[in-house]
């Protein structure tokens, strides 16, 4: 039986700031489509004119412009979010979204969807992100892989894909393309494992494989007293700076 196709959308956004509750808006959406871990060449890309609570053009600060390179003048003739919301949702609907730091992007997306719903007729309401997509957060995946969350820049360098995309500015489509290459490399071991596990046509991939009793024993290396104390000191520093450590003493 052929495997069901898995459709992934690698997604990134650019915004006018870091908190939608302070009135900040999405100004760029970049999406890259993958099917069964292969890039299809289908993308969704939109620049968006940000509006404030009164429906007037929101003017960005220069320090924000310096990050993504999108100026107020450049965005002036672009559509506002309500003009692209349906085509955007149609592109991502039913897919698995791959996002680095999904809490940020999904937070902005749901804020935009909620704003759209608040000013439109009942029959034109749009869903929230989790209603139409499942989400993989590569920030969390990097924590599982490396022991701590890693930036997209770090992952791109680690997997040696940082030279595949010109990132003079952190554009949404550019970063989505880079994340696609990172994700392929990040999950390559999973693909290899799945292929090898199903390579024997007489073996059911769901069968339980039991290890023999005479297998080599796993070596367990425990932390020393000094290492435990250093770990405790590090957690105290994190707490003093207002963080909430995930690890316990």
| Active centre residues (catalytic) | 170
Going by C-alpha positions, the residue among 44, 57, 13 that lies closest to residue 170 is 13
Sheet containing 26-35: give its strands across: 38-47, 26-35, 7-15, 96-99, 134-137
CB 126 within 8 A of CB 39: no
Instruction: Report the distance separating Cα 156 and Cα 186, nearest Å.
Output: 10
Half-sphere CA count of 125, side-chain side, radius 13 A: 8
Phi-psi domain of 37 (left: phi exceeds 0; alpha: psi -120 through 50; beta: other): left
At 67, phi and psi to the nearest 5? -75, -50
Instruction: Report the distance separating Cα 176 and Cα 12, nearest Å.
Output: 5
Give the burial string for 40-66 (b: 16+ CB within 10 Å, else e): eeebbebbbbbbeeeeeebebeeebee
Positive or negative torsion for Cα 97, 21, 77, 166? negative
């Amino acid at each position: 039986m052929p495997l069901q196709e898995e459709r992934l959308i690698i997604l990134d956004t650019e915004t006018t700031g870091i908190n939608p509750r302070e009135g900040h808006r999405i100004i760029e959406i970049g999406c890259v489509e993958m099917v069964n871990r292969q890039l299809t060449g289908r993308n969704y890309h939109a620049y968006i004119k940000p509006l404030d609570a009164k429906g007037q053009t929101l003017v960005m600060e220069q320090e924000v412009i310096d990050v993504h390179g999108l100026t107020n003048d450049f965005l002036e003739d672009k559509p506002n979010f309500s003009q692209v919301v349906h085509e955007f949702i149609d592109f991502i609907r039913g897919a698995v979204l791959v996002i680095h730091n999904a809490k940020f992007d999904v937070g902005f997306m749901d804020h935009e969807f909620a704003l759209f719903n608040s000013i439109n007729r009942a029959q034109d309401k749009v869903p929230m992100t989790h209603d139409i997509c499942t989400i993989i957060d590569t920030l969390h995946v990097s924590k599982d892989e490396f022991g701590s969350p890693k930036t997209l820049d770090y992952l791109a360098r680690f997997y040696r894909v940082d030279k595949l995309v010109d990132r003079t500015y952190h554009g949404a489509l550019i970063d989505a393309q880079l994340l696609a290459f990172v994700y392929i490399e990040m999950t390559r071991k999973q693909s290899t494992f799945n292929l090898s596990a199903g390579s024997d046509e007489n073996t059911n991939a769901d069968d339980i494989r039991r290890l023999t009793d005479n297998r080599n024993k796993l070596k367990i290396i425990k932390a020393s007293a000094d290492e435990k104390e250093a770990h405790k000191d590090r957690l105290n520093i994190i707490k003093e700076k207002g963080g909430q450590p995930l690890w316990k003493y």
